[in-house]
């Protein structure tokens, strides 16, 4: 459910800001939608695995790689004519990285709760602590590393006030992410892909709201009852796990396996290569 909230809402909302414009210019979402989705999905579980943010483990390495990736893209954009720094500020600025980290912590918890995820106060505190440390590795300014969910939501709300409405580049970004989501879970046939993508669009619209979904030109759909169905399903699932512990263990193992399938674990492992060129299609060829 956390990955569902991450893909269906938080990533979409993040790319609707000027953060997404740099990715639109480089083409690293449109041309590499599945790859980008798997990289983002890989980072989420890796930092939460036991000792995942220790220096020798993938959670630490992926967090630092994100920092280096942002630095490489920032430098490339500053050398090009594609980015108007006088009008838009520094690409992938410290403010935007802090804003994104607030979204990946406080906003992610809020969106996950909308899908029926229940976290205890201790689990919420632990989630925020690990996200805060990951933000440190990603280069977030100390003043913007939020310690609590409420602080993260406040920072995200203030950052949102400073953002312009979704720009035209955000439309293909959001739709590429959602339309790429069926592939990592094995939906290869066109009909199956369209059906699953339509379902993800409905869930996304229910999470982000009709105004933003319409601004991103997501397919029109009815969202009434979508979140209530998820919450009911999770409530029943939790009840069955408590009544039938053996079934609950198998269910958790299956969910963990599916989570790994959504990341790079099934696609040849994690890739730490940094881009050498600004445009994704040229970097891929060379």
Domain boundaries, the chain: 2-285
Predicted local distance difference test score (pLDDT) of residue 267: 45
List, run by run, the mean pLDDT of 10-residue segments along the chain (286 residues). Answer: 89 91 76 67 87 92 92 89 89 93 96 93 96 94 94 96 90 86 76 88 95 94 90 86 81 71 55 72 54
Predicted local distance difference test score (pLDDT) of residue 250: 81
Q: DSSP letter string over the chain?
A: -HHHHIIIIIHHHHHTSTHHHHHHHHTTTTTTHHHHHHHHHHHHHHHHSTTTTSTTSHHHHHHHHHHHHHHHHHHHHHTSSS--HHHH-STT-HHHHHHHHHIIIIIHHHHHHHTT----HHHHHHHHHHHHHHHHHTT--GGG--SSHHHHHHHHHHHHHTSPSPPTTHHHHHHHHHHHTTGGGT--SHHHHHHHHHHHHHHHHHHH-HHHHHHTTPPP---TTHHHHHHHHHHHHHHHHHH-HHHHHHHHHHHHHHHHHTTGGGTTS---PPPSSSSHHHHHH-
Helix-helix angle 226-243:190-208, to 10 degrees:
100
Predicted local distance difference test score (pLDDT) of residue 37: 75
């Amino acid at each position: 459910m956390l990955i569902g909230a991450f893909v269906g809402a938080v990533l979409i909302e993040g790319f609707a800001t000027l953060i997404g414009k740099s990715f639109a210019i480089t083409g690293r979402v449109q041309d590499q939608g599945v790859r980008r989705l798997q990289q983002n999905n890989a980072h989420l579980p890796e930092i939460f695995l036991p000792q995942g943010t220790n220096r020798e483990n993938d959670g630490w390495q992926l967090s630092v790689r994100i920092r280096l990736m942002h630095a490489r893209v920032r430098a490339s954009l500053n050398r090009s004519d594609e980015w108007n720094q006088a009008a838009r500020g520094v690409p992938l600025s410290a403010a935007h990285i802090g804003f994104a980290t607030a979204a990946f912590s406080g906003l992610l918890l809020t969106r996950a709760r909308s899908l029926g995820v229940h976290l205890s106060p201790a689990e919420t505190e632990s989630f925020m602590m690990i996200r805060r440390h990951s933000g440190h590795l990603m280069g977030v300014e100390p003043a913007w590393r939020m310690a609590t969910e409420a602080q993260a939501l406040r920072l995200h709300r203030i950052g949102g006030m400073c953002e312009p409405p979704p720009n035209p580049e955000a439309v293909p970004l959001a739709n590429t992410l959602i339309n790429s989501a069926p592939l990592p879970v094995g939906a290869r046939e066109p009909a199956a892909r369209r059906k699953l993508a339509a379902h993800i669009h409905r869930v996304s619209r229910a999470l982000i709201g009709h105004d933003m979904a319409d601004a991103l030109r997501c397919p029109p759909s009815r969202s009434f009852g979508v979140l209530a169905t998820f919450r009911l399903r999770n409530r029943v699932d939790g009840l069955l796990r408590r009544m039938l512990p053996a079934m609950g263990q198998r269910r958790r193992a299956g969910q963990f396996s599916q989570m790994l399938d959504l990341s790079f674990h099934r696609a040849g492992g994690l890739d730490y290569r940094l881009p050498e060129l600004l445009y994704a299609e040229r970097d891929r060829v060379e």
